[in-house]
Amino acid sequence: MVLPNILLTGTPGVGKPTLAKELASRSGLKYINVGDVAREGALYHGYNEEHECPILDEEKVVDELENHRAEGGVTVDYHGRDFFPEQWFHEVFVLRTDNSILYKRLETRGYNEKKLGDTIECETFQVLYEEAMLSYKEGVVHQLPSNMPEEREDDRNQILRWTEQWVKAHSPGLVTGWSSYSTRLVASLANSSLLGLGLLRRPRATGSATSNPFWASEALPVQSSRAPPSPAEPPWGRGLVEPHTEAFPALAGVLTGPPVDQVCDTEDSEVDRASPVCGHRGHAGQEATPSPQVAPWVLPLGSPDSGEKPGSLGTCALSADLALRFPGLSAHL
Ligand SMILES: Nc1ncnc2c1ncn2[C@@H]1O[C@H](COP(=O)(O)OP(=O)(O)O)[C@@H](O)[C@H]1O
């Protein structure tokens, strides 16, 4: 399952790690505290006498975090954002605390006068919020109040809801052929968050693959036990244009339809011997493991029982077509 990366930011004392740890304990999001990472790796290049703290070596921190970030599903906690590449984060949450409350929290930390004053000023002038607003596209940055424990619960639930939406919208759109390979592949994906599943087949009665280049002429009904994606944010299908094959509209229907938890199967064994002719992830007999970095994706499969070359069955063309028309769906041919 692919998970988003979140930046949790805000002035020191607003409650970033407190919230981030709660999030981590209730979701698959991994918590990364930049301060801890820097301490563990001694990623500093000096000391700030005035604020009595080491100075972060930002380049080294970015290098250190790159692998985690690339895997996805991290919540990074830091009082700033300026040195993180913009594309690292899918959503940015800025925690905000009223000055009087923040002052009390910081006092108990033993901040010196200068550091305390600067920190309060930073919150008063909403420096981190404005910085974030300037650095990210509209709609990415959200403010969350962090004064009372009850607010923390609301904040946590809001982030979890948003994460769930994101996961649904970025789950694999899988187009698969009709083979033992595909059945195994689908089984390996069954626990991931499948948004739509098109199982394709050439009906027994209709001629050969050659006479029907789009052999995948039928999209099987899918079982659905999840709520459909919010109509306000359809994950697929916006801007879909003139379907030109039999298979395309059927698949489009599957991809734009409600998400599925269950995989449908059939006893039709006509092409059960099939191995993928243009899948890039392996051949019949090998387990296919979806890469979390590459999703959503399409696995084009063909039936080699016709002895045809990859692509001649139309699966590559169909997948490429779908990928072109569905934003976010990629085809690996
Ligand atoms: N929503 C909240 N309501 C009340 N206290 C909070 C809230 N969030 C955090 N705190 C408290 O504020 C203090 C600072 O929180 P912390 O998570 O260490 O913040 P930061 O790392 O952003 O400086 C902690 O004592 C924490 O328990």
Q: Whose CA is nearest to atom 25 of ligand 1?
A: 105
Q: Whose CA is nearest to atom 15 of ligand 1?
A: 15
92 token code pair = 């940015």
Residue 71's pLDDT is 87
CA of 310 to the centre of ligand 1 (A): 58
Identify whether the C-beta of residue 90 lies closer than 8 Å to the C-beta of residue 22: no
Q: What is the mean pLDDT of residues 59-78?
A: 93
Rounded to the nearest integer, the mean pLDDT of the chain is 65
Identify whether the C-beta of residue 54 lies closer than 8 Å to the C-beta of residue 46: yes
CA of 41 to the centre of ligand 1 (A): 25
β-pairing verdict for 53-56 and 44-48: antiparallel
Q: What is the mean pLDDT of residues 98-106?
A: 95
What are the strands of the beta sheet with 74-77, ordered from one edge?
A: 30-33, 74-77, 6-9, 91-96, 141-145
Among 19, 103, 105, 129, residue to substitute to test ligand 1 (most atoms within 8 Å of Cβ): 105
ipTM surpasses 0.95:
no
Provide the 8-state DSSP code for 287.
Answer: P
Provide the 8-state DSSP code for 309.
Answer: P
- Which segment of 57-71, 120-134, 154-168, 237-251 scores lowest on mean pLDDT? 237-251
Among 7, 14, 16, 18, residue to substitute to test ligand 1 (most atoms within 8 Å of Cβ): 18
CA distance 179 to 187: 12
Task: Please check the confidence at residue 212 and state whether its pLDDT lies above 90.
Answer: no
Pocket lining for ligand 1, CB < 6 angstroms: 10, 12-18, 105, 146-149, 151-152
Task: Please check the confidence at residue 162 and state whether its pLDDT lies above 60.
Answer: yes
Provide the 8-state DSSP code for 86.
Answer: G
| All domains of the chain in start order, with CATH | 6-168 (3.40.50.300), 171-333 (no CATH)
Give the model confidence (pLDDT) of 214-240 as tens digits. Answer: 333 333 333 333 333 333 333 332 222
Which one has a higher pLDDT value, 187 or 273? Answer: 187
Provide the 8-state DSSP code for 296.
Answer: S
109 annotated ligand-binding residue = yes
Reported for 306-311, long-range contacts at CB under 8 A and 24+ positions apart, including other chains, are 306/208, 306/209, 306/210, 308/209, 308/210, 308/277, 309/277, 310/277, 310/278, 311/277, 311/278
Atom nearest to 14 CA in ligand 1: 22
